[in-house]
Amino acid sequence: MKIAAPFLLILSFIVVSACGFARGQHQLLTTADLIQAKTLRNASDVQVFHGEARPKYGCVKTATVVANGNGYATQDDLVDALKKETVRVGADVVIVTSSGYTSMQVGTYGGGIALAQQIEYPYLNGVACRTGSIWHGVRLAADKIPQWVVRYVFEGSPAHKAGVREGDEIVTVNGIFLGDDPTAWDRHVNAQSAQTSVSLQFVRQGIKQTVQMVLESP
């Protein structure tokens, strides 16, 4: 049976449009200049963190990244797009910060008939990071309120040896207020080399304390 060419074109469009697809975009941050770019051969080598999970070792925020999918994009499609964009900016870690859907009214008109459909396009937002060459052992959650509260300290780490504990709210790093400079932690800690001494001032139970933390190799 011979199938008309127009029908084949319509069928092809339906098959293609029903495939999940996501495309990534990025915007470099000023901190991208602090650390050498990573060279990954495969996007599958990018480490992905969700929720409050963070890399164990210090890493510098390199770029904001986003993956926008079509109406058929799956979570895997979006994550793959984030990974590829992370490789493009010379990073090896991506922290997923938010997800959701963008609604759009799509309309078609032909043969005197108008059709409209509400389609939801999924997206993922994240931050691409480059792992450094230091180990401090403190995990912060700067996206929480209050900011710069220590969420976890690895036992035996430089932070633990310096006296930093879970629940401490770090105020300054080398005299720089973290609240006024959101890049200060990356600049004065994550981008540094091993054996560098970092001055931390934090508040514990209403009392300010200052300690010296000596960074170590991972």
pLDDT in tens, 164-207: 999 999 999 999 998 878 888 999 999 999 999 999 999 999 99
Could you tell me which CATH class the domain 21-131 is placed in? alpha beta
Q: Do domains 21-131 and 138-214 have the same CATH topology?
A: no
SS3 string of the chain?
Answer: CCCCHHHHHHHHHHHHHCCCCEEEEEEECHHHHHCCCCCCCCHHHCEEECCCCCCCCCEEEEEEEEEEECCCCCHHHHHHHHHHHHHHCCCCEEEEEEEEEEEEEEEEEECCEEEEEEEEEEEEEEEEEEECCCECCEEECCCCCCCCEEEEECCCCHHHHHCCCCCCEEEEECCEECCCCCCHHHHHHHCCCCCCEEEEEEEECCEEEEEEEECECC
pLDDT in tens, 118-144: 778 899 999 999 999 999 999 987 666
Question: Which CATH code fits 138-214?
Answer: 2.30.42.10
Q: Where are the domains of the chain?
A: 21-131, 138-214
**Full-model pTM:** 0.80
